[in-house]
Amino acid sequence: MAPPKRKHSTHFTASKRRKVAQKSDVVSDKDTPTPEEWNAMKSFKRFQVLQQDDRHTFTLGDAVLVLPPTGEPGDASMTDDDFWIARILDIRAPIQEPTDSWDQPVWAKVQWFYKPEDLVGKIKGLKRGAYGSKERIASNHEDLVHFSSCEDIVQMHAYSEISSKNSRPTIIDTDAFYYRQTYDVLTNTLTPLPKTCLPKCRKGYNPDTNTMRVCPSASCARAFHVSCLQDSATSSSIADSPNSSRTLVGSSPKQKLKQKGNEKKIPNELQTLALLPMLKGGPHGVVGNVPFVRAALAILRDVRSGTRTVDPDWQEKLNLPDGVEVQDLVDAAAEYESAECPSCGATM
C-alpha cells in the first residue's frame, strides 16, 4: 500500500456541548461558512466526536446520523429513525492546531437522504405506505453541517431491484437503511421505481409488508404480488418439477451433450437453490432470496455452457447472512407453487 501523500492531522474531537444540524430548507445557521470561507478551508479525511466515553470516527463517504433541530444532544430515547441521515462528501476546517473543543469550526459537506414521507405532497404520485420503514430516498441536496451534530455511522445501501448481473449481491440487514430512488432537488423529480406487477395490478409495493415474486428471466426480472399471481399458479409445485421449463442455456445438440457431461458435477443443493421461486419483501426481508437464487442460476448457466466448473466453495461465496443455510431458503419457499410470469411467460 502506498504511504499517504501528505501527513496532516486527520481528525478533530468534539465533546460536551453539541450543535444541532441545519438543513438549508428548514433553518439556516449563522455560523455556517460562506462559500468563500469554505473554499479557503483545508480538507480532511475524518473527524471524531466524543460522546461520554465513546469516540466515534466519521470518514469521507460514511452515511451518518445527524442530530435534527428537534433533537436534544445526548437524548438516549432517540432511535436511528429519529435522526436525519446524510452522506459525508467533504470535511473542512480552517484551523492548524486541532483542539479538544466542541466549537471548532469543523464542517462536513453532506448530501441528505430524505424520509419518503418528507416528499409526500412535493412529488406527484409518491404514496405514503409504499416504502419500507428503513427506506430512504437519496438526494443531491447538499448542506454544510457542523461536525458535532454527527451522532453515529449507519449502513445505507443502494438497492437496485433490477440488477441481475453477477455483481456482488446487495444484502440488507434488518437494521440497515437502504434507498431505491434518488430525488433531484433542482428539478423536483424522483428516479422511477421499476414497474411492478405489470400487467397485473401495476401497483407498487412496500418491502416491509408485501411478499413479491420475481421473474428469474434476466431480461424481465419483474416483481409480482404473490396475491396477484394466484390465478397463474399451476398445479405442480416447484419440488415436483426439478426439470421445470426455466431456461438456462441455448439448446444446440452439442450444448446438450456438454450439459449432460457437466450435469453430474452440479451439487443437488445448488440445483435446488437455482430453481427456487424468487421471493422478496414481507417475511423474506427486503432483498429476500433473490440475490442467492440469482447467484445460483448464474453458476448453473456457466457450468452448463461449459465456461466454468462449480467452485467447491460456492456456498460460502453466496455470502448468506449469518446463521442462514441454503436449506432455510428452501424451507421458506416451500409453500410457493411454480407460476408463469404474467409479463414474459417464463416459469417462476
Residues that bind Zn ion (CB under 5 A): 197, 200-201, 215, 217, 220, 225, 228, 341, 343-344, 346
Cell numbers 455452457 correspond to 305
Minimum distance of Zn ion from residue 294's CB (angstroms): 14
Minimum distance of Zn ion from residue 195's CB (angstroms): 11
Minimum distance of Zn ion from residue 27's CB (angstroms): 42
φ and ψ at residue 185, rounded to 5 degrees? -70, -25
CA separation for the pair 305, 321 (Å, rounded): 29
Neighbouring CB atoms inside 10 A of 71's CB total: 19
Euclidean distance between the first and the last CA atom of the chain, given in angstroms as a whole number: 47
CA separation for the pair 128, 133 (Å, rounded): 11
Nearer to Zn ion, 48 or 343 (CB): 343
Minimum distance of Zn ion from residue 165's CB (angstroms): 17
Nearer to Zn ion, 145 or 223 (CB): 223
Nearer to Zn ion, 16 or 203 (CB): 203
Nearer to Zn ion, 21 or 341 (CB): 341
User: Which residues have C-beta within 8 Å of that of residue 119, sequence separation ≥ 6?
Assistant: 126, 137, 183, 190
Nearer to Zn ion, 269 or 340 (CB): 340
Nearer to Zn ion, 220 or 249 (CB): 220
CA separation for the pair 62, 41 (Å, rounded): 21
Minimum distance of Zn ion from residue 347's CB (angstroms): 9
Burial of 121 (0-12, 13-18, 19+ CB in 10 A): exposed
> Starting at the edge strand that comes first in sequence, how are the strands of the sheet with 13-14 ordered?
13-14, 46-51, 54-59
Minimum distance of Zn ion from residue 199's CB (angstroms): 10
